[in-house]
């Protein structure tokens, strides 16, 4: 079983958007499981909807920027990032083809969520009815979004808190070939500094989530170690930038977004070409 995992990273997702658009241009690229965290889940929804360039078009639209860095709203008790507005803007620019996302039951879609009250990871398989709320929940960064997203009576925030890269989830679901699209460069390891700071800020209001943040760096780094040293019988590949991307999580000019997007396309095409070469070699070997 083949799985694709897309890491989050906010506007750094322009890179993954390019990779996924390269995949959409090649009919031979197919996966059974699709797992996304935070922005990764948003990008995968456009990929499964078969809507190339939707993600980068939305990211570069001037209206999208109005949903970010809303200092005045934040000071008044609102959100620094307005997820509702962001979703509405995306629908105005190019409505997400929800019917297409769920048209093939063999292509499963999962998003990771962090349960605010338990501090535990929850893996959600969204439906047509709750897709919007699931995507919003996995993307809701603590502090950036003041109020957790409620689904079925539970409160959730960014899935990247408890599981930045849902590799073990893909393995548990039966995947034996896994491709991870990363937003961090080769050699990156999480030093835990930002997570520890956020943990202190959330200690009173969200104590269990605060505890989860303290172990986030270890979870991330252990996952990267597993990606780079998979056990026998498990094939794991990754596509990641060779150096830090131009965009940050919450900032990026049109030029920077385009640069990261085009790099993603380039590396996506390179992965496809390498995969085709490997498949041809296997075909020749099987004929001997």
Residue 168 neighbours by CB under 8 Å, 6+ apart: 223, 226
The residues annotated as belonging to the active site are 38, 158
Distance CA 99, CA 243 (A): 37
Backbone angles phi, psi at 216, to 5 degrees: -60, -45
- Copy the structure tokens of residue 206: 């969200």
- Copy the structure tokens of residue 45: 């929804």
Backbone angles phi, psi at 287, to 5 degrees: -85, -10
Rg (CA), the chain: 18
- Judging by DSSP bridges, how do beta strands 108-115 and 121-124 pair with one another? antiparallel
Q: 163 vs 56, 168, 170, CA distance in Å? A: 25, 9, 12
Backbone angles phi, psi at 15, to 5 degrees: -65, -50
Q: Is 271 helix (H, G, I), strand (E, B) or coil?
A: helix
Distance CA 205, CA 220 (A): 24
Residue 120 neighbours by CB under 8 Å, 6+ apart: 114, 162, 208, 212
Distance CA 143, CA 135 (A): 18
Name 111's bridge partners.
36, 124
């Amino acid at each position: 079983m083949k799985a694709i995992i897309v890491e989050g990273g906010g506007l750094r997702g322009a890179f993954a958007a390019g990779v996924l658009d390269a995949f959409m241009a090649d009919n031979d690229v197919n996966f059974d499981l699709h797992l996304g965290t935070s922005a990764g889940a948003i990008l995968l929804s456009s990929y499964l909807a078969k809507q190339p360039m939707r993600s980068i078009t939305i990211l570069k639209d001037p209206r999208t920027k109005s949903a970010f860095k809303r200092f005045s709203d934040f000071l008044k008790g609102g959100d620094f990032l307005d997820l509702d507005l962001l979703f509405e803007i995306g629908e105005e620019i190019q409505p997400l083809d929800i019917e297409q996302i769920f048209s093939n039951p063999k292509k499963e879609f999962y998003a990771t969520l962090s349960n605010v009250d338990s501090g535990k990871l929850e893996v959600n398989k969204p439906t047509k009815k709750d897709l919007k709320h699931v995507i919003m929940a996995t993307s809701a960064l603590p502090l950036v979004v003041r109020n957790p997203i409620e689904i079925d009576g539970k409160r959730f925030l960014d899935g990247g808190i408890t599981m930045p890269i849902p590799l073990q989830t893909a393995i548990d679901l039966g995947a034996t070939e896994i491709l991870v699209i990363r937003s961090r460069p080769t050699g990156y390891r999480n030093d835990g500094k930002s997570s520890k700071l956020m943990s202190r800020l959330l200690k009173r209001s969200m104590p269990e989530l605060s505890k989860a943040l303290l172990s986030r760096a270890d979870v991330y780094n252990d996952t990267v170690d597993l990606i780079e040293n998979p056990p026998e019988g498990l094939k794991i590949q990754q596509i990641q930038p060779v150096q830090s991307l131009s965009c940050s999580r919450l900032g990026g000019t049109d030029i920077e977004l385009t640069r990261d997007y085009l790099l993603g396309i380039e590396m996506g095409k390179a992965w496809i070409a390498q995969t085709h070469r490997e498949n041809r070699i296997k075909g020749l070997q099987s004929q001997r």
